[in-house]
Amino acid sequence: MVHPTSNPISDRMRSSPAGGASERAAAYLHPGQLFVSADSHAVTTILGSCVAVCLWDPVTRIGGINHFLLPTFSGQGIASPRFGNIAIKDLLDQLAELGSQKHNLLAKMFGGACVLEAFRQRQNHLGMQNIEVARELLESESIPLVGHDVGGQRGRKVVFHTDDGSAWVKVL
Amino acid sequence: MAALKILLVDDSETILQMEQMILAKEPYELLVARDGAEGVARALEDNPDLILMDVVMPRMGGFEALRQLRGNQRTSTVPVVMVTTKAEADSIETGYASGCNDYIVKPIDSIELIAKLRDLLGD
């Protein structure tokens, strides 16, 4: 099981998103969606076993976030951002379209909880699969993962700031 | 070995039919309740292994039903997946506070629903 590590999300807060949020336009991200912007946005999403990968370019201040439910598109059905491999690729493509530079990108990752106590000893629960797909893809793209809050037993509410990559997490 | 039981709680016949269609080929016994109060009663009577719970229902909504389930020792740990709409985004946090384990957004995607259920019930 993955726990928040010695590389904690230093901006994890217990009460409300970080200061400056009122200057950012608000957006809400549903499962299977992704959001990118060259303007400052505070994007909220709620994660159980799902994972959100947040990417931002600190030079251009372009950033985005996805929210995927399943690890890998296997060819059955529609190749949508509900799947981690599609969601991360689409996020990278859309950030590039806005003008971000891949070599500048930094990443944070959230979610992937095992929400059922009886199965928390399993290593292959859906949340863990989602976490591993995200890690592998970020590594293959050489994008540093500079923060994460993943695994555990509880859902999370995440607010991600697209311009500077700061994130606020509330355990539910 | 008896089939795992899933209790579908929704006031919409369309949604219930859709959920039953999606799950028709899965090895689950499907039970139905048409509002939160009936959902709580059926859960106490039939001991489902998982509950799919709509949010907005007459007589008793999903959150109140969930709170009652969590407050009863017999149903305090049954996995509950809330079925929400995009318009109910703010209510998802309430769902977690009420004790749900996960949520799914309408329109329900069959691959997503089956994957979540298999994950929660053990495949």
pLDDT in tens, A12-31: 333 345 445 458 999 999 99
Reported ipTM: the value is: 0.84
Contact flag A31-B77 (C-beta cutoff 8 Å): no
Per-residue pLDDT, A122: 60
Q: Assign B2 a pLDDT band (cuts: 50, 70, 90).
A: confident
Contact flag A70-B93 (C-beta cutoff 8 Å): no
Write down the residue that tokens 């797909």 correspond to.
A133
Q: Which residues of A touch B86 (CB under 8 A)?
A: 30
Q: Which residues of B touch A84 (CB under 8 A)?
A: none
Sheet with A156-161, edge to edge strand ranges: A25-28, A41-47, A156-161, A167-171
Per-residue pLDDT, A53: 98
Q: Count CB neighbours of A133 within 10 A.
A: 22
Tell me which of A22-26, A101-105, B43-47 is least confident: A22-26
- Measure in Å the smallest separation between the Cα of B100 and chain A Cα atoms: 9
- Measure in Å the smallest separation between the Cα of B12 and chain A Cα atoms: 22
Contact flag B102-A28 (C-beta cutoff 8 Å): no
Contact flag B89-A28 (C-beta cutoff 8 Å): yes
Contact B56, B103 (CB under 8 A): no
Q: What is the DSSP string of A60-93?
A: TTEEEEE-BSBS---SSS---TTBHHHHHHHHHH
Q: Residue A53: which H helix or E strand, with range?
A: strand A51-57
Per-residue pLDDT, B90: 77
Residue A4 scores a pLDDT above 70: no
Token pair in block for residue B90: 């703010």
Residue in B77, B105, B115 nearest the CB of A70: B115
What distance separates the 2 farthest-apart alpha carbons in chain A?
45
Q: Assign A10 a pLDDT band (cuts: 50, 70, 90).
A: very low
Residue A56 forms beta bridges with which residues? A63, A106
